Structure 1
Amino acid sequence: MTPTNGSAPGNAGDTSGERLLVVENLHVAYKVDRRLKPTLHDVSFSVAPGEVIALVGESGSGKTTTGHAVLGLLPENGRVTGGRITFRDQVLTDLSPRGWRSLRGRAVSLIPQDPTVSLDPLRRVGEQVEDTLLLHSDLGAAQRRRQVHELFETVGFRDVELRYRQYPHELSGGMKQRVLIASAIAAEPDLIIADEPTSGLDATVQKQVLDLIGDLRRRNRTAVVLVTHDLGVAADRADRIGVMERGRLVEVGTPDQIFTSPRHPYTKRLIGAVPGRSAAPVRDTAAVEEREPVITVTDLRKSYGGIDAVAGTSFEVRRGETFSIVGESGSGKSTTARVLVGLTEATSGSVSVLGKDITRLDRRGYRPLRKDVQIVHQNPYSSFDPRFDVFDVVEEPLRAFQPPQLPWKRRKANRDRIVAALEAAALPPSFADLHPAELSGGQRQRVALARALVVEPKILVLDEPISALDVSVAAQILHLLGDLQRERGLTYVFISHDLAVVRAISNHVAVMQNGRIVEQGPVDDVFSRPSSPYTQNLLGAIAGRKLVHL
């Protein structure tokens, strides 16, 4: 398939005449049950020195497979079945394992998606960055250590010797990602494959990481293939964008071409799902302000070992509204959420939920409220019992409020309620017999929502419920939440670092920093006229502002 927008595949938008990487008619298949299952189909593009091309699309579109094929890092059951990849006139698809060892890390390198699984937990991070220098330079031990110090300074670390000696568990997610960038640039490669390098990071940390990659590109003319599902990042950071769907590159063009004149139907659907691009939901904040509060938090404090995670927070949430709490990792927003649902005890202050001060209740005293206040976690899969099928997962809250019964009798008695909860979450009844491992990320999040809805709560606390989802799946979940709120009068406390989503769905917003609320009010007022420097900095770091009209 020839991509639309731009010129012919292989040199779309490349006006330099020099092509560092050329991918021609690439086909990749995975061996499953002794049969080859085609995954990539006839993918072609090129990258010039110093150029950034972003590959965008949903999970399963082939973005990561394309990046891994370029680096010769396909899993054991994956293989290139057709086409050719050329780097500086060297055919990579014919490269031997020895040839890859000399090339990978020196001339081409990878910034992987998940730093948690990419760093050895038993080794100091400085030593892990040194590995690249050990393989691809003649530097002695003392020189390598000094070089790592310089790399750490380049990626924005201050006390570089302290960072050198630390283990991965001692670093935040953003710090771990910086370590991976330091490792990727150690040998000053000509090409970097950045596979979702900012997925799950706060807006300010994301900006810092992307700025580092941009500085490297300008300084060394390093080319970047940026694999991302974040269209805002692609809009801001790429020279060209390739849109992938089901293993095919369906459209290639500049950001202006892709976002103002998309040609392929899939590209149009993808862009239409971006929060702020589609029609804004009806948010009658004035009407909400006339309603009674269902949550009143006054001077809430939560300390761990003498350190305040939440330090004197106060706010109100009114019936039927969406109240969002935003801030960077460590700001205290998730701790606040856990206090609201009785999973964490407050150190001091008062928290009134549906007229009851939960700070005066023990776990047993809070129990009657659990039917009315439910939480939907960021990662539903980790909150599911792996032995359970979907029926058991959704039924779990019901069992907490029912007398013991024989399993078959209980399942028969609860089936109608389970089916109703699945249907409310836009899932067919047949899903009840599946296991969570058989579902996609978006389907698992719907199951988590069904589990929360099955006891017919009045308040839902949603802790980063769409942060790991593709833009179109996230849009579906947000529309579903809007429908449920209108139909059932639900009240939402929405915890998020995605400010575009918060702007699209919220009535009121509170901005947290270091355990304190630094600003709160109607969402349009806070986003349009932020008074706190922290809020201004947070809003200024959002990727794709021109795309989402913030």
Structure 2
Amino acid sequence: MNGDSPPESGAAPGPVLSVADLSVGYRVGPGTRTAVRNVSFELAEGQVLALVGESGSGKSTIGHAVLDLLPGNGRLLGGTVSYRGRTISGLPARQLRQLRGRAISLIPQDPTLSLDPIRRVGSQVDDVLRLHTGLDAEARRTKVHELFELVGFHDVERRYRQFPHELSGGMRQRVLIAAAVAAEPDVIIADEPTSGLDATVQAQVLDLIDDLRRRTGTAVVLITHDLGVAADRSDLVGVLRQGRLVELAPTAEFVRSPRDDYSRHLLDSVPARLEFPDRGSGRAPSHGPAAVEVTNLRKHYGDHVAVDGVSFTVEQGETFAVVGESGSGKSTTARILTGLVPATAGRVRLLGTDVGDLSAKAFRPLRGDVQIVFQNPHASFDPRFDVLSVVAEPLRSFQPVRSRHRLRRENRDRVVAALEAASLPASFLHRHPRELSGGQRQRVAIARALVSDPRIVVLDEPVSALDVSVQAQILALLDRLQRERGLTYVLISHDLAVVRAISDHVAVMRHGRIVEQGAVAEVFGTPACDYTADLLGAMSGRQLAIR
């Protein structure tokens, strides 16, 4: 360990971190809402504890409480946090600042919010060394270079001088990891360190944390809603529900035979364990024209080629997935299909109609047949609108101005029918999106896509931001709607477990090109391309697959 560690980090026997009967609350109006209730656990050197559970279960609150980083309305209601046998909850702020980063450090969930946008990233990592070591400026700069190499950066001096906006999400996450490990702490609190990252970047980030654990004996509290990550990367799993720790067990035992009903429910909801009939081997071509035909599609943004000669066909009634890392061109392809951006070259036929040369006005009648569900529905909703107005938006777009008043009641009836199809009651009509959970907002987004009775729906990362049990509900809903309505889905995703669960065919994109495509069972079972094999090898949660 680092020779500059504080006195309390000496090799005392017993656990490196202990949490005993921890209860945390938040002031809400005149009262206090309890978010964590009587949680206890211990962590030895080199151990990884994964805290799992749905949003609002108290995972992040525990991590912030350990470091006394609760927001202004949060407070400790009871219990203690101890570091190497010494109680640190309630310590004066100055002593806690000495411990943070040096003995216990945090990898925050959102690098965009956690990095100062107007400072170079190298100087932000340097802050940790300046506060917690006796190194001079030149030695600190050298150390930051070493840390950047450790987290997988090349051309480290260039990275040192860059600002956060010049880095990708995965790169920003690596900067936060470099800062967290700079002083070689005894404990790392990793709060959703890979949320939203591509499979390969996720694997690299987790490998970095695991390498530090092996080299230095650092203990890790891994806060995650991804049970695949928990199964692959932890020694212990703690399951939280409504602020209570309902199960704490060795990971292998938890995966094999969870004791709590809620734990079993979570495990049964992971995509690797979902079973939808007739998926994966590819379906026979349907009668009539293909739903989507793409031929030699290209899209340029200045000198950057985002989509480079892409071709594929999607039959009516099937799910065709497009996978790849960020920047591979998959979302650009989706936006071309829906008419949101024009292609530079190539041909797109939708339901037998060549749309490549259509003007916006000529494409308009086809928009009712082709709808999109975005990754973040909240960002695609007008915050002034209630659910009725949000879902009815496509209907208003397709109606002449003179008929809108006369058709208002008809539109309301169609909105109610779309909500019911998405498993939402009519009582939601006059709620606003901010009043809904993440899963409810995604159902509203699906209802909005359904209200015009489309034949093709583009799903752009439809479940990536959702808890595992909500993911399962949305995937089951999409499967039911497809079977009832004969819908064609084009699924854009970086989650290969989701793709395997609900898709018939898949195309793998890299640098704007399709490097492999075919039936899901064939591509995932015997990949012909090394890149596809690398993506599959980076998947988390293989231990959770149906046995």
Give your verdict on TM over 0.5.
Answer: yes
Contact 2:509 2:515 in 1 (8 A): yes
TM-superposed CA distance for 1:239, in Å, is: 0.5
- Residues 150-178 of structure 1 deviation map (CA, whole Å, 9 limit, x = unaligned): 11011110100000011111101110000
Residue 89 of structure 1 is aligned with which of 85, 91, 98?
Answer: 85
TM-superposed CA distance for 1:544, in Å, is: 1.2
Question: Relative to 1, partners in 2 of residues 1:405 and 1:265: Cα closer, same or farther, differing over 3 Å?
Answer: farther
Report the counterpart of residue 360 of structure 2 in structure 1: 363
Moved more, 289-298 or 277-286: 277-286
**1:546 correspondence with 2:547:** no
Q: 2:16, 2:285 → 1: CA distance? A: 58
Contact 1:155 1:212 in 2 (8 A): yes
Report the counterpart of residue 273 of structure 2 in structure 1: 277
Residue 207 of structure 2 is aligned with which of 199, 204, 211?
Answer: 211
TM-superposed CA distance for 1:203, in Å, is: 0.5
**1:460 correspondence with 2:457:** yes
Report the counterpart of residue 384 of structure 1 in structure 2: 381
Note the 1:78-227 alignment, pairs <5 A: 78-227=74-223
Report the counterpart of residue 8 of structure 2 in structure 1: none
Contact 2:509 2:516 in 1 (8 A): yes
Report the counterpart of residue 309 of structure 2 in structure 1: 312
- Residues 312-352 of structure 1 deviation map (CA, whole Å, 9 limit, x = unaligned): 00000000000000011011100000000001111111111
Identity score, percent: 63
Note the 1:50-69 alignment, pairs <5 A: 50-69=46-65
Contact 1:26 1:82 in 2 (8 A): yes
Q: 1:390, 1:96 → 2: CA distance? A: 48
Question: Relative to 1, partners in 2 of residues 1:92 and 1:341: Cα closer, same or farther, differing over 3 Å?
Answer: same
Letter of the 2:528 counterpart:
S
Residue 234 of structure 1 is aligned with which of 224, 230, 235?
Answer: 230
Q: 1:285, 1:235 → 2: CA distance? A: 28
- Residues 107-164 of structure 1 deviation map (CA, whole Å, 9 limit, x = unaligned): 1110011111111111111111111112112222222111111110111101000000
Letter of the 2:500 counterpart:
R
Letter of the 1:49 counterpart:
E
Which structure 2 segments of 5+ residues have no match? 1-11
Which structure 1 segments of 5+ residues have no match? 1-15
Q: 2:312, 2:274 → 1: CA distance? A: 30
TM-superposed CA distance for 1:407, in Å, is: 7.9
Contact 1:49 1:223 in 2 (8 A): yes
- Residues 367-425 of structure 1 deviation map (CA, whole Å, 9 limit, x = unaligned): 11100000000001111111111111101111001222698765434211111111111
Letter of the 1:254 counterpart:
P
TM-superposed CA distance for 1:286, in Å, is: 5.5
**1:257 correspondence with 2:253:** yes
Q: 2:98, 2:63 → 1: CA distance? A: 18
Q: 2:15, 2:135 → 1: CA distance? A: 31
Q: 1:417, 1:289 → 2: CA distance? A: 31
Report the counterpart of residue 20 of structure 1 in structure 2: 16
Q: 1:336, 1:256 → 2: CA distance? A: 41
Question: Relative to 1, partners in 2 of residues 1:286 and 1:91: Cα closer, same or farther, differing over 3 Å?
Answer: closer
Residue 432 of structure 2 is aligned with which of 432, 435, 445?
Answer: 435
Contact 2:294 2:313 in 1 (8 A): yes
Residue 334 of structure 1 is aligned with which of 331, 334, 338?
Answer: 331
Report the counterpart of residue 8 of structure 1 in structure 2: none
Q: 1:547, 1:405 → 2: CA distance? A: 56
Task: Give the secondary structure class of the aligned counterpart of 2:291.
Answer: strand
Contact 2:275 2:501 in 1 (8 A): no
Q: 1:289, 1:406 → 2: CA distance? A: 40
Moved more, 366-375 or 88-97: 88-97
Q: 1:171, 1:154 → 2: CA distance? A: 17
Q: 1:493, 1:406 → 2: CA distance? A: 33
Query: How does the TM-score come out when normalised to structure 2?
Result: 0.96
**1:395 correspondence with 2:392:** yes
Contact 2:49 2:234 in 1 (8 A): yes
Q: 2:355, 2:91 → 1: CA distance? A: 64
Residue 503 of structure 1 is aligned with which of 488, 500, 505?
Answer: 500
**1:521 correspondence with 2:518:** yes
Task: Give the secondary structure class of the aligned counterpart of 1:433.
Answer: coil
Contact 1:288 1:320 in 2 (8 A): no
Q: 1:405, 1:390 → 2: CA distance? A: 23
Aligned residues: 535
Contact 1:155 1:182 in 2 (8 A): yes
Task: Give the secondary structure class of the aligned counterpart of 2:429.
Answer: helix
Q: 1:401, 1:362 → 2: CA distance? A: 16
TM-superposed CA distance for 1:521, in Å, is: 0.5
Letter of the 1:493 counterpart:
V
Q: 2:428, 2:373 → 1: CA distance? A: 19
Note the 1:407-446 alignment, pairs <5 A: 411-446=408-443
Report the counterpart of residue 6 of structure 2 in structure 1: none
Q: 2:354, 2:156 → 1: CA distance? A: 47
Contact 1:500 1:548 in 2 (8 A): no
Letter of the 1:220 counterpart:
T
Contact 2:461 2:494 in 1 (8 A): yes
- Give RMSD over aligned pairs: 1.5
TM-superposed CA distance for 1:260, in Å, is: 1.0
TM-superposed CA distance for 1:39, in Å, is: 1.2
Letter of the 1:540 counterpart:
G
Q: 1:129, 1:261 → 2: CA distance? A: 42
Moved more, 288-297 or 263-272: 288-297
Q: 1:360, 1:388 → 2: CA distance? A: 34
Q: 1:286, 1:24 → 2: CA distance? A: 53
Q: 2:112, 2:129 → 1: CA distance? A: 22
Moved more, 204-213 or 83-92: 83-92
- Residues 169-222 of structure 1 deviation map (CA, whole Å, 9 limit, x = unaligned): 110111000000001011111100000000000000000000000000011100
Contact 2:104 2:187 in 1 (8 A): yes
Contact 1:281 1:504 in 2 (8 A): no
Moved more, 171-180 or 17-26: 17-26
Q: 1:409, 1:50 → 2: CA distance? A: 68
- Residues 214-245 of structure 1 deviation map (CA, whole Å, 9 limit, x = unaligned): 00001110000000000010001000000111
Letter of the 2:415 counterpart:
I
Task: Give the secondary structure class of the aligned counterpart of 1:288.
Answer: coil
Residue 300 of structure 1 is aligned with which of 278, 297, 310?
Answer: 297
